[in-house]
Amino acid sequence: MSEVTIIIDGKEVQAQKGQRLLQVALKAGADIPNLCYLPGVEPPQNGCRLCWVEVEGLKKPVTSCTQVIEEGMVVHTRTPAVDRLVRSGFEMLMSVHRLDCKVCPGNRRCALQDIAKSRKIPLKPKRLNKIEPDLPIDESRPDLGFNPNHCVLCGHCVYVCNNEVKKKILDFSQRGLATVISTFDGRPLADQECDGCTRCAEVCPVGAIYLRQ
């Protein structure tokens, strides 16, 4: 791969041709909201729709996790159009999220809280009706718990369980607005051949899959 130079918010950044813009920008210190990107996973899931940027010469903002860098690219991470898209995407996400931070295992280490703080967007959406999910919590195991009401469907747990640990216990289930993360057969975690590696809890950016102490 050959080296290219791009400009991110006025700063020159060197990277390898063909890399995804989000990975390069985050490494260079840019603050771009993202939930579903895992470095090295190709193609990117492109599910959270939060990592918007503007690239000079392109008519519309693009998701930076899918955008491949090219020599001379000039990128802006904060424009009115980008901020609008990030805010709308975040509000949509939070409109179907059970917001009970005080009792959530993710409290104070949660990517949603970080995004809300850095973009000055309230965690509780103001413009959309809120539907608080009330799905059953799985605390069948002593070491791991799963609360689907906090899940943002980033897919990180599914990826590591299937591709790194190769246990194939977790997957996306159902479709559209009903999509949830579940075990393959729908039975609780305690009934699975899970050896408690806890990689899923490590990669969960919120408080959905968590360690039980």
Take residue 83 and report the two structure tokens written for it. Answer: 């901020």
Phi and psi, residue 23, nearest 5°:
-60, -45
Q: Indicate the residue among 49 and 150 with the shorter CB distance to ligand FES.
A: 49
Tell me: does residue 206 bind ligand SF4 (CB under 6 A).
yes
Which amino acid is located at 76 in the chain?
H
The C-alpha atoms of residue 7 and residue 167 are separated, in whole angstroms, by 41
Tell me: does residue 75 bind ligand SF4 (CB under 6 A).
no
Binding residue (CB under 6 A) for ligand SF4 from 66, 88, 113, 140: 113
Tell me: does residue 69 bind ligand SF4 (CB under 6 A).
no
- Residue 103, classed as helix, strand or coil, is helix
Q: Which stretch binds ligand SF4 (CB under 6 A): 15-23, 74-82, 92-100, 135-143?
A: 92-100
Question: Position of tokens 């605390």?
Answer: 139
Tell me: does residue 36 bind ligand FES (CB under 6 A).
yes
Binding residue (CB under 6 A) for ligand FES from 20, 26, 37, 54: 37
Question: Position of tokens 């020159």?
Answer: 12
Which amino acid is located at 7 in the chain?
I
Phi and psi, residue 125, nearest 5°:
-65, 140
Interaction site with ligand SF4 (CB under 6 A): 97, 99-101, 104, 106-107, 110, 112-113, 123, 150-157, 181, 203-204, 206-209
**Residues found near ligand FES in the complex (CB under 6 A):** 34-37, 46-51, 63, 65
